[in-house]
Amino acid sequence: MPASTVIYPPKQKYSFLDDYSEGAHPQLLEALVASNGTQETGYGNDRYSQEARQHIRNHLGRDDVGIFFVPSGTSANAISIAACLRPHEAVIAASSGHIVTRETGAVEATGHKIINVLPENGKLTPLSISQALEANWHYPHMAKPRLVYISNATEFGTIYSRAELAAIKALCVENGLLLFMDGARIGAALTSPKSDMTLRDVLDLVDIFWIGGTKNGALLGEAIVVKDPRLAEDFEFYIKQRGSLLAKGRIIGIEFSELFRENLYFELARRGNTAAQKLSRSIEAAGYSLLVDTETNQMFAILPLKLIERLQQDFIFYVWEKYDVDHAVIRVLTTWSTDFDRVDEFARIVMNWKAE
């Protein structure tokens, strides 16, 4: 049965496969250990979760938003989207979006159609959203577009600029659409060298979004930020009904409290971005091209197949797609925990191989 096929990395190889290969940042673990013995109210009403909410609200600069913790990105997406929609309403998303490609039809399992849109570098635009609206107007024979899903950073590591997001928001307002941001990698997005947005900007420009913990230093957990007070009032019902309200909600509370008490969350994300930048500059210096510019902690490099084979002797990464007869695109993911020595080693192999 599939569950028993062990495929963890052999010890000698270093993994750039994803951003959840390691455990938690040590500071989070320490807080977990330190708080372990206290008795707390269950289901997210503990003091740590309350503190974490307050810290996040401080970062957002607004106190009147609901903040809810769930264990995974798929639960964050499916719960948020289903909570916003009536049964006949549909989601507009890029065909590369995580809810389309990697969540086992979780949104459809809540009853909602996803209208696929071709992305540009992983992103939606006012034009592509408009086209989706035009193709889905036929009352009552087509599901009614109601919510736009974007991920930031995207599945290609690209980010939305403030202007891009504002333009999408304007179109949404005009057409009665809600705007939802999947923030699994929002830390990487906001600390990108290219970024011109803060967490507060995101809050101002979307209707509902979430801040990913799992991919940025937490053991598990994502924080959903809900602006609409009526939605927030009942939001825990949705979380509980979908099996995502942990009895020991304290675990996620403790983690987010550490991440947002000061700026640890953003420091961790920046470190992942820095590693990817470094790697990307090496790749380009060695004369190779990137599929898309490296804006966050994901690098998509076009490399000769032989070089890829050489790299695979020491590293694990995703061979994304064929490029041409001699080349393929690889995806390399760096994180808060990436070992910079290994980054250097990876770069060295690329450089030296070139020299052969």
Q: Which of residues 243-302 bind its own copies (CB under 8 A)?
A: 243-248, 250-251
The DSSP call for residue 157 is S
Figure out which of the listed residues 142, 292, 302, 305 binds its own copies, where binding follows CB under 8 A: 142
Ranges within 42-71 binding its own copies (CB under 8 A) = 42-47, 50, 53, 66-68, 70-71
Q: Are 151 and 91 in contact (CB under 8 A)?
A: no
Query: Is 36 a residue that touches its own copies (CB under 8 A)?
Result: yes
Question: What order of strands is seen across the sheet that includes strand 178-182?
Answer: 66-70, 222-226, 208-212, 178-182, 144-151, 89-94, 114-117
Q: What CA dihedral angle connects 178, 63, 79 and 166, to 10 degrees?
A: 30
Figure out which of the listed residues 5, 134, 324, 341 binds its own copies, where binding follows CB under 8 A: 5
- String of contacts with its own copies for each residue 112-141, x by CB under 8 A: xxx-x---------------------xxxx
Rounded to the nearest 5°, which phi and psi values hold at 11?
Answer: -55, -40
Q: Are 350 and 286 in contact (CB under 8 A)?
A: yes
Figure out which of the listed residues 2, 12, 313, 341 binds its own copies, where binding follows CB under 8 A: 2
Token readout for 290 is 């990137």
CB nearer to its own copies: pick between 43 and 323: 43
Q: Give CA–CA dist 346/340, Å, rounded.
A: 10
Peptide bond into 132 cis (omega under 30): no
Ranges within 16-35 binding its own copies (CB under 8 A) = 18, 20-24, 26, 29, 32-33, 35
Query: CB of residue 114 vs its own copies: minimum separation in angstroms?
Result: 8
Ranges within 93-112 binding its own copies (CB under 8 A) = 101-106, 108-112
Figure out which of the listed residues 52, 82, 279, 299 binds its own copies, where binding follows CB under 8 A: 82
Rounded to the nearest 5°, which phi and psi values hold at 40?
Answer: -135, 155
Token readout for 29 is 């673990």
Query: CB of residue 111 vs its own copies: minimum separation in angstroms?
Result: 5
Query: CB of residue 289 vs its own copies: minimum separation in angstroms?
Result: 25
Query: Is 232 a residue that touches its own copies (CB under 8 A)?
Result: yes
- Please say whether the dihedral angle defined by the alpha carbons of residues 266, 267, 270 and 272, taken in this order, is positive or negative: negative
Q: Give CA–CA dist 233/204, Å, rounded.
A: 20
Query: Is 228 a residue that touches its own copies (CB under 8 A)?
Result: no
Query: CB of residue 232 vs its own copies: minimum separation in angstroms?
Result: 5
